[in-house]
Amino acid sequence: MKWLRTAFDDHDLRRLRADAAQVPGFEPATGGLLVVSRAGCDLRRGQVDVVWGPADVVDAHLPPRRP
């Protein structure tokens, strides 16, 4: 998660990949990467599996909508 004023970029992605490799059980070939950034994302499509912004974080905590 990056909650700074600048967009998540290639530098941040390199650091995320290095840090993720330190998580016990994480397999780079099969584990996905999720980016959460307040200031957006400056990556090419397909470099990470999921990109969330502030609204996505808030929406994830709302109760499900009823039909």
Copy the structure tokens of residue 16.
């995320």
pLDDT on residue 67: 77
Q: Using pLDDT thresholds of 50, 70 and 90, give the confidence band for residue 50.
A: very high
Distance CA 37, CA 66 (A): 29
pTM: 0.78
Mean pLDDT in residue range 33-44: 93
Helix, strand, or coil (residue 56)? helix
Domain boundaries, the chain: 10-60
Quick one: which H or E segment has residue 36? Answer: strand 34-36
In angstroms, the CA 32 to CA 51 distance is 11
Q: What is the pLDDT of residues 1-35, one digit of tens each?
A: 667 889 999 999 999 999 999 999 999 889 999 99
Query: Token pair for residue 20?
Result: 């993720």
